[in-house]
Amino acid sequence: MLKSKTFLKKTRAGGVMKIVREHYLRDDIGCGAAGCTACCGAHEGPALEPQPQDPASSLCPQPHYLLPDTNVLLHQIVSAWRPGTWASVASSLRLPGSLETYVEQEQGENANDRNDRAIRVAAKWYNEHLKKMSADNQLQVIFITNDRKNKEKAVEEGIPAFTCEEYVKSLTANPELIDRLACLSEEGNEIESGKIIFSEHLPLSKLQQGIKSGTYLQGTFRASRENYLEATVWIHGDSEENKEIILQGLKHLNRAIHEDIVAVELLPKSQWVAPSSVVLHDEGQNEDDVEKEEEREQMLKTAVSENMLKPTGRVVGIIKRNWRPYCGMLSKSDIKESRRHLFTPADKRIPRIRIETRQASTLEGRRIIVAIDGWPRNSRYPNGHFVKNLGDVGEKETETEVLLLEHDVPHQPFSQAVLSFLPKMPWGITEKDMKNREDLRHLCICSVDPPGCTDIDDALHCRELENGNLEVGVHIADVSHFIRPGNALDQESARRGTTVYLCEKRIDMVPELLSSNLCSLKCDVDRLAFSCIWEMNHSAEILKTKFTKSVINSKASLTYAEAQLRIDSANMRDDITTSLRGLNKLAKILKKKRIEKGALTLSSPEVRFHMDSETHDPIDLQTKELRETNSMVEEFMLLANISVAKKIHEEFSEHALLRKHPAPPPSNYEILVKAARSRNLEIKTDTAKSLAESLDQAESPTFPYLNTLLRILATRCMMQAVYFCSGMDNDFHHYGLASPIYTHFTSPIRRYADVIVHRLLAVAIGADCTYPELTDKHKLADICKNLNYRHKMAQYAQRASVAFHTQLFFKSKGRVSEEAYILFVRKNAIVVLIPKYGLEGTVFFEEKDKPNPRLIYDDEIPSLKIEDTVFHVFDKVKVKIMLDSSNLQHQKIRMSLVEPQIPGISISPDDISNMNLNGPEKKKMKLEK
């Protein structure tokens, strides 16, 4: 049947538009119930189960389907998605434009009412349809709605209808489900004190008006980690002034949560404040002590000079919430039998969340996930509901899960759809694979990697040609041969973006079959590769560059140490060793050239854990050792990346995926220059070359570690390198490598950027065909954005993992005293680096329940004077390291000063009395009482 309507509409300009629409109502949409004879398989897609499992509901004992209305579906999706508990959801599939259930909007009926009516009609249709299907089975469709009027009308029309709460409560088999319901019904949730704390959020239309007229500013809300009463809003747009607005006090924060997009109103200048440097954590157990908050807010307003004041504002409305499920722990309510508890998220920027649960005692001491449902005006905390129990605090699996979740690392096992695109085993190279591919199996190729590496993505070879020149080849795993554009496997790896290496675990970007087997360039098997082959003379000048897809057969997979041994030992003369020696010689020349051009050699302390093979507990910490062979492999990888970057940019000037490293603004170097000056050294920072040279010269005969420290500091001054699309940017320079153009080509197994680069290069040399997304620079820019985000998150997750394992290590080790160097000096603390463990930590000089020592901080030098001792950057101190578990959620490494001794501040090596380390024990005692 055809519905057609014609109507006239007045346009904004005053003209009259005739709008003609037609809509086809279909008669071929099935009901979706498997085994329904009436619609004989006209239905596609997911089907309803023929016999829904008995959910054991006391309200409706017969088997039934559920038909939730849109609001219920939207808000309760978390609880709905648990197999076996909710019978299959007959979603509104049947609704769009089906002939029997089409509902025309009546005169005076608004769109919402029409939709409600449409869902009721559908429910009715379903019930009649199912009855027709077979008279003897008592299948029923139950309509779930939270709208009271809608429910009443449904009951009137003879449709069994319940509210969500009624239904879930009636499920006798699954009492815990009730906790997972998002609490939306206002009646059941009134808060004792009806006092309104927050001012109302303005509606979106008003906000948009205000933003247009300039009275409000739109920005991203960023809560402060240190102070729960303070936040900043980063204003969107390019205007220079008012880039960052400070918000202070609960009322001004007005229920905004970290990462929300908000609208703020600037306060008059008289009310501007300066960011307070006080650390404040929300610790009150009592829920609604708003008066106390006000006291605290007063505390923030310390007297400051005029020029310290920053633009200050208040949140008037929320443009977009950016809530996600949060990890954290339950703080059980003091009141026994209470079902309402506070949940403390692991991320300190997220406020505590009030949840309702009956299983508080089982959830205590566990890491759990909670989702926020809303934040009413009269509530001090947002309301949420329990989602998932991750496991015990301190368990390695739980903590790993938490850090993966908190850093948004996709770590679920690969779905069936993704795995279906893997090649079938046993896999072999076929005739078809050999098309456009060169056979390089005869070459003496070997790979050099860290020990225990299973995803080998690069291999090298070097041989002398007849004309006396050298042929050098870098062979990279041909991942793009296995991951075809657009399929589920490709989409999943694009989403993951990178492989994440945690201390004891690797979160793969591609399924293991590819990462550790088919793509991994293991020795003595034929593997597909993408080769970059140069002809070089003996002074490492490139004479010819060739890119080709190839088949290789690696002759050896070596570790860095093994390769070094081969190069060094005088009596090894086999092919592999000569090849390695040739490579090493060229690499040295290449490195020298690169450094002459101004490439930086920076340093950051990298730690490696020695794991216990059984328990996977760390037994020893060790900083990574660097050998000549490390730099040999690195040199050729850099060379390959640069060659490929040039080639793809030549071919695709508009949509090459490149990597750039912007030069840092001069102000970034201030710390480094000042620190060096305190040691009578000069660091020039005007160009990368002068920086590299002055870093090389900065050495002190009495203090050999100084140079490394300077390089560590220099690393901290750098900007982040990012991927970008060449058509969207015109600055390609890579500052750190001093290369005009750079990309990532050499690790396609663990980085998605390399896969794209492989595809681009393959098209450029005519070995593969192109596809539309590859030549769409906006799509490419989106990919870059995701990759940059994933890389950053992966880095944070890695650091968090190292931090957690360091804690485990010191937990088993107990307290130790070690030598350390001061990296930074702060107002009330020093940041130290312990070279033995590559560990960095902060030594605080102010403690809560002790008189504050006399601290004098000098910003210029910089130095910190405590009582009579002065601390400079790079001073050598001795610190004691121990695990502080006074806060269960955030266990941390705590350091305190041992040497130089300052009475009242430093502690003697075996003194522990003044440290509050035994928090958990104390708490336990309390519980037992």
- By beta-carbon proximity to other proteins, the closer residue of 18 and 573 is 18
Amino acid at 320: K
- By beta-carbon proximity to other proteins, the closer residue of 80 and 671 is 80
Tokens of 758: 């492989």
Q: Is residue 71 within 8 Å of residue 147, measured between CB atoms?
A: yes
Tokens of 401: 């899960």
The distance of closest approach from Cβ of residue 258 to other proteins in the complex, given in angstroms and rounded to an integer, is 28
DSSP bridge partners of 819: 878
Interface mask (CB under 8 A) for other proteins, residues 423-452, using x and -?
------------------------------
Please count the residues of this chain forming the interface with other proteins, following the rule CB under 8 A.
Answer: 24
Binding window for other proteins (CB under 8 A); candidates: 9-17, 106-114, 300-308, 882-890: 9-17
- By beta-carbon proximity to other proteins, the closer residue of 19 and 135 is 19
Interface mask (CB under 8 A) for other proteins, residues 766-805, using x and -?
---x-xx--x------------------------------
- CA distance readout (Å), 265 to 99, 213, 319, 820: 51, 12, 13, 47
DSSP class of residue 578 equals H
Distance CA 487, CA 419 (A): 11
Contacts of 83 by beta carbon, 8 Å cutoff, 6+ apart = none
Cα angle: 428, vertex 432, 437; to 5 degrees? 90
- By beta-carbon proximity to other proteins, the closer residue of 15 and 84 is 15
The distance of closest approach from Cβ of residue 34 to other proteins in the complex, given in angstroms and rounded to an integer, is 18
Cα angle: 379, vertex 382, 388; to 5 degrees? 145
Which of 237, 234, 300 shows the shortest CA–CA distance to 272?
Answer: 300
The distance of closest approach from Cβ of residue 756 to other proteins in the complex, given in angstroms and rounded to an integer, is 17
Q: Is residue 121 within 8 Å of residue 103, measured between CB atoms?
A: yes
The distance of closest approach from Cβ of residue 16 to other proteins in the complex, given in angstroms and rounded to an integer, is 7
The distance of closest approach from Cβ of residue 43 to other proteins in the complex, given in angstroms and rounded to an integer, is 10
Contact residue for other proteins among 4, 412, 467, 539 (CB under 8 A): 4
Stretch 53-92 residues interacting with other proteins (CB under 8 A): none
The distance of closest approach from Cβ of residue 93 to other proteins in the complex, given in angstroms and rounded to an integer, is 7
The distance of closest approach from Cβ of residue 18 to other proteins in the complex, given in angstroms and rounded to an integer, is 5
The distance of closest approach from Cβ of residue 784 to other proteins in the complex, given in angstroms and rounded to an integer, is 21
The distance of closest approach from Cβ of residue 216 to other proteins in the complex, given in angstroms and rounded to an integer, is 24
The distance of closest approach from Cβ of residue 127 to other proteins in the complex, given in angstroms and rounded to an integer, is 22
How far apart, in Å, do the first and last CA atoms of the chain sit? 75
- By beta-carbon proximity to other proteins, the closer residue of 24 and 427 is 24
Distance CA 869, CA 765 (A): 66
How many CB atoms are located within 10 Å of the residue 544 CB?
10
Is residue 46 involved in binding other proteins (CB under 8 A)? no
The distance of closest approach from Cβ of residue 772 to other proteins in the complex, given in angstroms and rounded to an integer, is 4
The distance of closest approach from Cβ of residue 17 to other proteins in the complex, given in angstroms and rounded to an integer, is 5
Q: Which helix (H) or strand (E) is 246 found in, with range?
A: strand 244-248
- By beta-carbon proximity to other proteins, the closer residue of 8 and 135 is 8
Contact residue for other proteins among 44, 152, 541, 696 (CB under 8 A): 44
Contact residue for other proteins among 2, 111, 303, 570 (CB under 8 A): 2
- By beta-carbon proximity to other proteins, the closer residue of 93 and 833 is 93
Q: Is residue 156 within 8 Å of residue 148, measured between CB atoms?
A: no
The distance of closest approach from Cβ of residue 29 to other proteins in the complex, given in angstroms and rounded to an integer, is 9
Is residue 468 involved in binding other proteins (CB under 8 A)? no
- By beta-carbon proximity to other proteins, the closer residue of 30 and 249 is 30
How many CB atoms are located within 10 Å of the residue 859 CB?
9
- By beta-carbon proximity to other proteins, the closer residue of 653 and 690 is 653
Amino acid at 405: L
Q: Output the DSSP codes for 69-129.
A: -HHHHHHSHHHH-STTTSPPB--GGG-TTBSTT--PPPTT--HHHHHHHHHHHHHHHHHHH
Stretch 151-190 residues interacting with other proteins (CB under 8 A): none
Interface mask (CB under 8 A) for other proteins, residues 10-29, using x and -?
-----xxxxxxxxxxxx-x-
- CA distance readout (Å), 346 to 230, 322, 399, 402, 890: 18, 17, 11, 9, 8
- By beta-carbon proximity to other proteins, the closer residue of 10 and 336 is 10
Tokens of 712: 């560590």
- By beta-carbon proximity to other proteins, the closer residue of 97 and 237 is 97
DSSP class of residue 327 equals E
The distance of closest approach from Cβ of residue 23 to other proteins in the complex, given in angstroms and rounded to an integer, is 5
- By beta-carbon proximity to other proteins, the closer residue of 22 and 686 is 22
DSSP bridge partners of 16: 10
Sort strands 64-68 and 16-24 into parallel, antiparallel or unpaired.
unpaired
Contact residue for other proteins among 72, 93, 474, 671 (CB under 8 A): 93
Contact residue for other proteins among 35, 50, 97, 450 (CB under 8 A): 97
The distance of closest approach from Cβ of residue 298 to other proteins in the complex, given in angstroms and rounded to an integer, is 48
Give the 3-state secondary structure of residue 639: helix
Cα angle: 476, vertex 479, 483; to 5 degrees? 165
Distance CA 633, CA 687 (A): 27
How many CB atoms are located within 10 Å of the residue 379 CB?
21
Is residue 96 involved in binding other proteins (CB under 8 A)? yes
- By beta-carbon proximity to other proteins, the closer residue of 45 and 468 is 45
DSSP bridge partners of 368: 328, 389
- By beta-carbon proximity to other proteins, the closer residue of 13 and 570 is 13
Give the 3-state secondary structure of residue 172: coil
Distance CA 661, CA 650 (A): 20
HEC profile of 539-561: CCCEEEEEEEEEEEEEEEEEEHH
Sort strands 816-825 and 876-884 into parallel, antiparallel or unpaired.
antiparallel
- By beta-carbon proximity to other proteins, the closer residue of 395 and 776 is 776
The distance of closest approach from Cβ of residue 42 to other proteins in the complex, given in angstroms and rounded to an integer, is 9
Binding window for other proteins (CB under 8 A); candidates: 251-259, 474-482, 708-716, 765-773: 765-773
- By beta-carbon proximity to other proteins, the closer residue of 73 and 912 is 73
Q: Is residue 462 within 8 Å of residue 443, measured between CB atoms?
A: no
Per CB under 8 A, residues contacting other proteins are 2, 4, 15-26, 28, 44-45, 93, 96-97, 769, 771-772, 775
